[in-house]
Amino acid sequence: MIKSTNRIPRRQFLRGFGGVTLGLPLLESLLPKAARAQAAVRSPFLLLVVNGNGVVQQGSDLTGGADPEKFWPTKTGVLTKASMDAEATTQTTSLLSDYAAKLLMVRGINHPFVGAGCDHAAGDAQLLTASKLSGAGNKTLASGESIDSRIAREKNPAGREPLALHAGKYSPGGTGYDIPGYVSYIGSAQPRTYIDGPYKAYQKIIGVVGGTSTDPAAMQAQQLLANRSKSVNDLLRSQITALLARKDLSAGDVNRLNQHFAAIRDIEVTMAASSVASLPAATVSSLQTVDPQPYDLTNHETLIKLHMQLMAFAMASDYTRVAVLKIGDREDDHQLTLNGTTFVYHTASHRSIANGAELCRLVDRMHAGYFKFLLDTLANYTTPTGTMLDQGVTVLTNQVANGAHSFTRVPWILCGTGNGYLKTGQFLDVGKVVSNQMLNTLLNAAGVRKADGSPVDDFGDASLAKGVVSAIIA
């Protein structure tokens, strides 16, 4: 049976035994005619991917030398696929050329507050909060909420938090400097605990949280999903069959449903394959251990891509309107092998090993490739008014700016207009703009407004000048 919440008339889902609740894409056919046009203009989502250690862009490095400009396009102004492809071998952002017309690259955004003892932790803490910092070193925390919390509070169902994901090396129980770096904050000195395993995130999205229920049906559903003998598609087979058989569904709605169910199967197959490959056969049926081991380097790329697939799935099913993925930790200490060289990424970012800048350029390109994977995933979801990519704003940013771990020129790459709010197809150098104004701009692009209905211009610490980044607004 299809049920709807009272929050917005387009919210539709299937509910099966054991608490399995599958959100559906927007199905125009099942809405009253008067509501279809309004419902098709979805409240824009915001997806944020945050990397660590900076990027290889022009500026000082930690050895006192200078990094080359290997990140941004060589010229500001209009972005085209042809112009970006012409720089394919030299500039990292050229890897996103397929989306040239939908991109907004912004250089010149600066963190407002200096760190005390650890620029990585200080960068993380203020990146999405623009708040003053408390504590020092690896204990640095934000003194305010992050924009994902604000969006979730105003756009999600009551009480539903943002989806906050982590693809790092260190668990929340780490000690010393070997700890996750938090960018999502509930409030002052209250970092949000990440979901580290994609299966845990998947269970949350579909309404089954493993290990917490004593209901026999819920426990059976959890176990069936855990040992991969059943898919969510299998658990809801009768409801799915009945839904697809409805004569009042348009061909477009049928296509969207089939895409949605195929995405579920793809996510589950990837989780199962990566889990089984890395675990002893005797543990595969265990709910806890079947989740890909999130801190195992061999799962790192798979983990990132699964998290990105889940971010897209969460938006398509209207589970949340905002999600954050932090790649790396307080710093990104992953050991990588690129072009035959094995190195620790953070060590290379300090330029304290031979050819450090070049190695970090390769990492930047790897991360740009992951971001393109997310854009590709969103582009593969269709909606009544275009692809899912066109329904929100998807962001790639970093805790710091460059090899010197500077707070000046922190990179921001946006894809999507937020229902026409932002310019696209542009690379803009905005000079020296404090990051609270970028956060205000993103809040407005996500459909958040002040209580009186006016645009948000005052997010972040009260000492900062109010405003938005007017140069990037359409």
Residue 294's pLDDT band (boundaries 50, 70, 90)?
A: confident
The string of DSSP codes covering 95-146 is GGGGGGGGEEEEEEEE-SS--SS-HHHHHHHHHTT---EES-GGG-EESS--
Q: How many CA atoms lie within 13 A of 169 on its CB side?
A: 17
* Rounded Cα–Cα distance for residues 72 and 92 (Å): 7
- Minimum mean pLDDT among 182-186, 281-285, 341-345: which range? 281-285
Please check whether residue 324 lies inside any domain of the structure: yes
pLDDT of residue 290: 37
- Minimum mean pLDDT among 180-194, 210-224, 361-375: which range? 210-224
β-strands 392-398, 185-187 pairing: unpaired
Please check whether residue 190 lies inside any domain of the structure: yes
- Minimum mean pLDDT among 247-251, 310-314, 327-331, 365-369: which range? 247-251
* Rounded Cα–Cα distance for residues 198 and 325 (Å): 11
Query: ∠ CA(171), CA(174), CA(178), 5° rounding?
Result: 100
- Mean per-residue pLDDT for 421-442? 97
pLDDT of residue 282: 40
**In percent, how much of the chain has pLDDT > 90?**
62
Owner of token pair 């990588």: 336
Query: ∠ CA(126), CA(129), CA(134), 5° rounding?
Result: 55
Please check whether residue 408 lies inside any domain of the structure: yes
pLDDT of residue 288: 38
pLDDT of residue 30: 74
How many whole angstroms from its chain centre is CA 205?
15
pLDDT digits (tens, 9 = 90+) for 39-50: 555 679 999 999
Q: Give SS3 for 14.
A: strand
Query: Which residues touch 123 (CB under 8 Å, ≥6 apart)?
Result: 111, 115, 398, 399, 400, 405, 407, 410
pLDDT of residue 63: 81
Q: Are 427 and 413 in contact (CB under 8 A)?
A: no
pLDDT of residue 109: 98
* Rounded Cα–Cα distance for residues 131 and 285 (Å): 44
- Mean per-residue pLDDT for 58-70? 88
pLDDT of residue 221: 59
Kindly tell me if the per-residue pLDDT of 82 is higher than 50.
Answer: yes
Kindly tell me if the per-residue pLDDT of 81 is higher than 90.
Answer: yes
pLDDT of residue 34: 55
Residue 266 or 110, more confident? 110
Q: Which letter, b or e, does each residue of 72-102 get, where b requires 16 or more Cβ atoms within 10 Å of its Cβ?
A: bbeeeeebeeebbeebeeebbbbbbbebbeb
Owner of token pair 């407005």: 444
Residue 363 or 382, more confident? 363
Going from the C-alpha of 446 to that of each of 50, 356, 421, 423, 455, the distances in angstroms are 18, 38, 9, 14, 11
Kindly tell me if the per-residue pLDDT of 175 is higher than 50.
Answer: yes
Kindly tell me if the per-residue pLDDT of 328 is higher than 70.
Answer: yes
pLDDT digits (tens, 9 = 90+) for 457-468: 999 999 999 999
Please, what is the average pLDDT of the chain? 87
The string of DSSP codes covering 22-73 is EE----GGGS-HHHHHHHHSPPPEEEEEEESS----SEE-TTSSEE---SS-
pLDDT of residue 187: 97
161 secondary structure, DSSP code: P
pLDDT digits (tens, 9 = 90+) for 13-34: 888 766 678 888 888 777 666 5
**In percent, how much of the chain has pLDDT > 70?**
85
Kindly tell me if the per-residue pLDDT of 4 is higher than 80.
Answer: no
Residue 110: domain span = 42-197+294-472
Please check whether residue 231 lies inside any domain of the structure: no
Owner of token pair 């970012």: 349
* Rounded Cα–Cα distance for residues 34 and 264 (Å): 31
Please check whether residue 115 lies inside any domain of the structure: yes
* Rounded Cα–Cα distance for residues 312 and 414 (Å): 16
Q: Are 134 and 140 in contact (CB under 8 A)?
A: yes
Please check whether residue 258 lies inside any domain of the structure: no
Please check whether residue 301 lies inside any domain of the structure: yes
CA-based Rg of the chain, rounded to a whole angstrom? 22
Give the count of domains, the chain: 1
How many whole angstroms from its chain centre is CA 44?
14
Residue 133's pLDDT band (boundaries 50, 70, 90)?
A: very high
pLDDT digits (tens, 9 = 90+) for 183-199: 999 999 999 999 988 88
Q: Give SS3 for 462.
A: coil
* Rounded Cα–Cα distance for residues 184 and 191 (Å): 6
For the ranges 81-85, 378-382, 383-387, 388-392, the maximum mean pLDDT occurs at: 81-85
- Mean per-residue pLDDT for 287-316? 79
Owner of token pair 């771990």: 405
Beta pairing partners, 163: 323
Q: Are 370 and 47 in contact (CB under 8 A)?
A: no
- Minimum mean pLDDT among 85-99, 135-149, 373-387, 399-413: which range? 373-387
Q: Give SS3 for 256.
A: helix
- Mean per-residue pLDDT for 102-108? 98
What is the domain-level CATH number for residue 129?
3.40.720.10
Query: ∠ CA(198), CA(204), CA(205), 5° rounding?
Result: 90
Q: Are 331 and 179 in contact (CB under 8 A)?
A: no
- Mean per-residue pLDDT for 136-164? 95
Task: Take residue 263 and report the two structure tokens written for it.
Answer: 């995405």
pLDDT of residue 172: 80
Please check whether residue 142 lies inside any domain of the structure: yes
Helix 356-379 × helix 300-316 angle, to 10°: 30
Q: Are 407 and 400 in contact (CB under 8 A)?
A: yes
* Rounded Cα–Cα distance for residues 161 and 176 (Å): 28
- Mean per-residue pLDDT for 312-321? 92
pLDDT of residue 236: 87
